[in-house]
């Protein structure tokens, strides 16, 4: 998902790095919060999701992620 400033100008996608907390904005994991594990050369972002008490590794497009503040 692309973001715009108040004037409608497109903003660059956020720079992600391992350890960042991100919110997923696309199905099937919409609204889930995950932790960036790594970013592959083909620009897929590998995140760790907490599903049913276990960390699950999932690859997503960077456009489907929004950086959020680190939770406690």
pLDDT digits (tens, 9 = 90+) for 27-55: 789 999 999 999 988 889 999 999 999 99
Work out the burial of residue 34: count CB atoms within 10 Å of its CB; fewer than 13 is exposed, 13-18 middle, 19 or more buried. buried
In a domain, residue 3? The reply is no
Over residues 12-33, mean pLDDT: 87
Domains identified in the chain, total number: 1
In a domain, residue 21? The reply is yes
Give the structural domain span for 40: 16-68
Q: How far apart are CA 48 and CA 2, in angstroms?
A: 23
**What pLDDT sits at residue 13?**
64
In a domain, residue 25? The reply is yes
In a domain, residue 8? The reply is no
In a domain, residue 56? The reply is yes
In a domain, residue 41? The reply is yes
Helices (H), 1-72: none
**What pLDDT sits at residue 21?**
95
Find the CATH number of the domain harbouring 23: 2.30.30.30
């Amino acid at each position: 998902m692309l973001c715009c400033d108040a004037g409608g100008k497109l903003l660059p996608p956020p720079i992600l790095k391992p350890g960042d907390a991100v919110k997923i904005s696309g199905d099937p994991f919409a609204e889930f919060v995950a932790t960036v594990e790594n970013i592959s050369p083909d620009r897929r972002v590998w995140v760790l999701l907490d599903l049913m008490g276990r960390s699950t590794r999932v690859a997503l497009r960077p456009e489907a992620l929004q950086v959020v503040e680190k939770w406690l």
